Structure 1
Amino acid sequence: MTRPPVEDDDDRTRLVPSPQHDAASQVDDRTRIATRPAEPAPQPVTTGSLINNNYRVRAMLSQGGMGEVYRAENIFTGDPVAVKIVLPTLARDEGIIALFKREARILGQLNDDALVRYHNFVLDDGLGRYCLIMEFIDGTTLWDHVDVNGPLRAQDALRLMARLARGLEKAHARGVIHRDLSPDNVMLRQDKIDDPVIIDFGIARAADMSEGQLAGRFAGKYKYVSPEQIGHFGGEVGPRADIYGMALMIAAVLRGDPLPMGGSAEEAAAARRGLPNLSGLPHEVYPLLQYMLQPDPAMRPHDMGEVADMALDPTRIPLAFRHPLWGETSAAPIRGGGGSLPSLTGAPREPLRPVAREGTIDAPEPRRKNRRRTLAATGAVAALAFGGLVVLNLKPDAPPQTTTPIAQDQQATTLPGRDIETEAGFLAGFDLGPCTLVQRSVTGLATPTLSVLSNRDVETDGLAKAFAERFGAAPDITTGRIAAGQCAALDFVRTLQGRAEAPPILSLDSDRMTAGGAIAGRLREARGRPLWLFLVEPGGGIHDLSSRAIAQADGSFVFSFGMAEQVTDGPSPQLIIALTSREPLIAPAVAASGAPANELLSRVLNEITAAGGYASADIAMFTLEATS
């Protein structure tokens, strides 16, 4: 457990008198304290100090706005403990003492691996100060982890959120609200992201306890508090305040910096009148954060259990929050990249500004009606990570989506021109009819191999002859049959084929997968560009696989995923596409899983052309078969 002795002032938990906490009440406080029985004057803590004749202080770990935290050990058992001691300047403050007592009582009620464990609470006569004895966590704070390792990857952040939400769900069930969530108040056992622990319940509120000791004071960190903690929405602080605070905390560790939420009461209040700017956050995370950061508590998730469920299964997020809530103004860049994969799709830009009515925010209408998805698990698509494997549950009886081919000629007018002297340019321009794509397969053999994908039988003799005449080598030709719902994907790849950008090289370890099995592949020549990796199933629905791409030392990416499907109508074709671009893309980030290929890819192509057309793609096909 490591922290510098003094926290950054902007990140310190604050107890600040409000203007209503007038001089008269302060006089009453002083009078009340003065009438208490005399107690020993507060003494400094030094290495070797003995607390309650049980715990020997070994080192300071941190200092905050109300107390100091030390590492100590039980002199009888040798077990390490953490000791939180009220600051000397606050040792006679009845409000602070009450908070320490409250923290001891609260921690005694809680039992979860994601919540710090309580041992004892004592007034040490030698120090003249109250001490809270807690579990010592051998690890680092979440902030220290980010400082050393960089911003979290999206999947790590989602797992972290789910675990912490489960712990807070238990706390909330007992009426305990933390109210001070921040990266400094989360410890990682052995510096492991998958083993986080929430600490410092110093300003937590228990439902059966009076708020009197906090009357007239703001408590928390301005960067992470909820709107209701600074007086919005009647100032009534409930469990949904922790939902808001957790979202700000997760955004901070994904960015490497806190969101700009103000450093004073006035700035913090202004920053919470609308949605914070979430520019740059990974597309896997920002829909849930948008939901959690609704200014009105009533519009946030109902409870922490729901947050945990949505972190592990994004299909549970209401559809309105899987669409953009921003305009066109670019936001300032963020620090750090957050993982091994380049920024996949960009991010939301300027957030929607508030508010049609005081205290409310109106979610925009979705751009399209909710559709029946062709990928489904218990009625909805699921792409759940289990041991590094994504399992897609397919629903085969859904009809194919009606597709409209992408208008290549119209789109291509603003794309860089094709070089017809190259193989890729020649193949893109060779007309084999609609819904057909021809690419050269990378086999390493001297004889060129051309791959033809189409939704029908294609006559390829003319292609073989023309290719041999142009490039001096007769090719071998393989063919693959796709479904009509996948035609838009072929049109999309062909539109980008043979232009200015070198394409990535996509390969699969097999061209067949048995239902319930897994398939793996490799992506080369992405060259550090933003990458979107996705699957197009026979009905035309698109499913993002970008989070499955893991960077390798040689600059390539590897990926794997599984598919569970009751294959009743024979083998089904599945397409995987890798798209690289010079600029991050917004359209994939705002699409729901299973979005129709003809709609989504048209928007992606419009975005590419608006940015100058510098993008390229590769495609691979495999067949999904029934189990034997």
Structure 2
Amino acid sequence: MSDEDDKTVIRPAGSASIPPANGSSTPADPTIVTVAPSGGAISPQPQRSAAGVQVGDLLNHIFEVKRFLARGGMGEVFEGINVNTDERVAIKVILPALAADPNVTAMFRKEAQTLTRMSHPALVQYRVLAQEPRLGTFYIVTEFIDGANLSDVLDKLSPTTEQLIGLTRRLAEGLAAAHGLGAIHRDISPDNVLLQDGKLERARIIDFGIAKNVEPGSHTIIGDGFAGKLNYVAPEQLGDFNRQVGPWTDVYSLALVILAVAQGRSVDIGGSFVDAINKRRAGIDTGGAPAELRPLLDHMLVADPEQRLRSMDAVIGELAKIRIGHAPLPGRAGTTAATATSGGGKLPKPVLIGGVAASLLAVVGAAGWIAFGGGPERSPQPAAPAANKTAGPVTSESVRRAVQSELPNVACTWLTLTGATQTPSGAQLAFTGVAGRPADAEASVFKSAKAAGASVAAIDFSGVAPISPSFCTVLDSIRPIRATGPARLVLPQPKFEIERFTGGEYAGQLGAKVIVQLSLEGLKDDFALYSVEDTGEISQLIASRAQLEQAAAARKIERLPGQEQYRIAADGPRGPGWSSFLLITGRGVEQGLLENSNTPNWAEHFNQAAKANGWKAEMVWFKFVDELPN
């Protein structure tokens, strides 16, 4: 493979010179932008960046800038953190000259309307587009993903046929979700597929990016011109076949990616611009793929877009027909089993996404991969809602009920559904809470909602904080008995500052005092109150109603106005991290049961006792922070 194959080539619309079938003419030289190699050093952080941001800045009182990562033609990339949820994020700050151009800001706003609505386990999640009023900066926030880049591990993978089919299905389903919103990636390649935690089954598509001239004041949009890597773009992106770019364009590139994974090396259909076009016209050799997969890849790699599989639903439908041995491969079929020439039904007007800024700003480092987006070239049209599996019309309330019923099954979480709105393009869901692995939880919610018959347009997980996996055993045992109805535990604030105690039992030690309000109004059952630490340790604070009344009489607990309302203060030494209060109500809350949560068979014992005694559980979560000098 030549050095040219490792470069991103950007050819504006109308500039490509397409060779005749015999390849006798030579096109004009393309503009070539060389992307920094994945192992390259990251530039040092300037004290005050060209984009006007520095480490330590707090954008809109939400996103703290933690470290500089990269600089590109559109702006600068930083790792950051959502200070309210502790979620690691990636922040792209747009250069001031571009942010001052109303054409650029309008394009980014259009992009945000599409990209922030995209939600699928195989797609990077875009959080927000915002402007910081104090610094005057314009920025985009996405989730921060740790993992290996597919292009870096092609020669190390030895996938089975089942794994290849699973990877194809996962990426096709993610792209189908994007296409449903009118967003076409246009740069699907191994560089833009991330293996989260190094796992093929957790592949994520990154770099949905802006295709726009980066000169301030420019009105030129690349449009249906080429933005991508020569080895993986479709013929129409090179100007062939009347530049018919659409969902079928991503179909072609996806097939090349799967072929590269199957053969353990990048495909070699690049070279010069003329070579790239002629190699596609000659056809792609899929001999490096398993025999079961070759017919599908051949169908996806037809040079003429009119004869190619036209949609990701068509790809998914063909995957469902593949048999290994004498049995079909497990997995769900696509929603549309379209033929190669049917077009897969009417699609929204495409938003052509990918290429210029995405290539310039994709960053690889030991800390992880960061993916950013740009603006759509055309305003997206909402996709028709998917057929619902349940009887009757889909309403916001029916979606809420369906999702609520599935939340107990989402592992290592304590989630609250704060919003469920049914729109023409599908359900928009919002959550708060905690999760051992928020990305896994989001994927599980997505699958659960789909299984319940809801067509999901967007999931907002920005209010879900990552917590230590040490909480998982307790969470997974308590979540099935989660109480419904008005909250009995209320925290006045979500964070508590660590400070040095000046007196009392913990004098001289670092710790914090936490205040929680408890309501027992209308409760006739027994109860017990516990604290749950990030080590997984559970400590009983109040064992019974009688003990609570004794403490209130001794003024160790404050009794508030109203029926059985209390304010409880708990203090002690500790460091930064998450913790929670747990309230168990029911008959005969067993002394010492929860404190032994680290013992063998504890979960089984707890579940039996909870079922026998009608226990219900409520939790509130808070964070200890050390943000001020002690």
Q: Provide TM-score, normalisation by structure 2.
A: 0.41
Larger radius of gyration: 1
Q: Provide TM-score, normalisation by structure 1.
A: 0.41
Higher relative contact order (CA 8 A, sep 6+): 2
